Amino acid sequence: MYQKWNKNVRLKPKIVRKCGEIKPLDIVVGVLCKDVESTILNVLNVINKGLYKFFPDFKKAIVVSMGLSSDDTAEAIELFQPYSSIAKIVTDDITLGGKGGGIRTIIEIAHEAEAKAIVLFDGDLLSIEPEWIQAISTPIIYGRADLTVPYYIRDKYDGVVTNNLVYPFTRAVYGLNVRQPIAGEFGLSRDLYEILRKHPLFPPDFGVDIFMVTVATAEQMMIREGLFALKIHRSTGRYLEPEKFLIPMFGR
């Protein structure tokens, strides 16, 4: 059954105070983490390098939102130290459930820090490069898009749900020719993330990627594809067992 967002859920006071100390920000890069101890440190270091290299004169922060992990993800995150010009905020997801809770946490932090743009990355990426930060952020920062969506290079047998359900549906219903609407990584303008933040159907768990794309389309906001790259992430291997991981997705 679909779960509605709990409006009573709020950021911790210490996180709100931290946002007040560093606002206003130009860029918030949000990283979603759950059971990613083997990959998260590299992801954070690459993001750190990309922000420092491509946006040296911008006010920026890396925000890590942690789901409930069964491994040493939290300990790995503690080892990360960004450049002095980049703020670091680490917090638990403000609600249990899944990716939706993590993204909502990052949006709430961006709101408190008055950020002009949010960039979202999963913590299990293996192929991330510093140039990804530039490619996803630049259209948002310079007002050329409200939502940026990667166009990843994928094998024809990869992306079963995207190729056979999500892309045909969004193109048929909305006329939206975005090839990978659930790519996983996104850039959001302040106008868009504030609309998402107030939306009554914000999903706290599954389906948040397509929710963001659908809302941006319905609100007639500017959507831009970019970042033509190969995406490799650790969780891809799970879908080698479709009966266990893919099929249950359709029952949610």
Burial of 248 from C-beta contacts in 10 A (0-12 / 13-18 / 19+):
exposed
pLDDT at 2: 47
> 175: left (phi > 0), else alpha (psi -120 to 50), else beta?
left
pLDDT at 160: 74
pLDDT at 251: 55
**Is 8 inside any structural domain?**
no
**Is 4 inside any structural domain?**
no
**Is 223 inside any structural domain?**
yes
Which stretch of DSSP H or E encloses residue 229? Answer: strand 223-230
Domain housing 69:
13-251
- Measured between alpha carbons, how far is 210 from 206 in angstroms, rounded to an integer? 10
**Total structural domains within the chain:** 1
pLDDT at 195: 97
pLDDT at 5: 58
**Is 194 inside any structural domain?**
yes
Residue 137 has a CB neighbour count (10 Å cut-off) of: 24
**Is 20 inside any structural domain?**
yes
pLDDT at 1: 38
pLDDT at 181: 86
**Is 153 inside any structural domain?**
yes
Nearest to 150 by CA among 124, 175, 169, 122: 122
**Is 227 inside any structural domain?**
yes
Q: Which residues of the chain fall short of a pLDDT of 50?
A: 1-2
Q: Got the DSSP string for 29-63?
A: EEEEESS-TTTHHHHHHHHHHHHHHH-TTS-EEEE
- Measured between alpha carbons, how far is 209 from 230 in angstroms, rounded to an integer? 19
> In this structure, what CATH number is given to the domain that contains residue 105?
3.90.550.10
**Is 38 inside any structural domain?**
yes
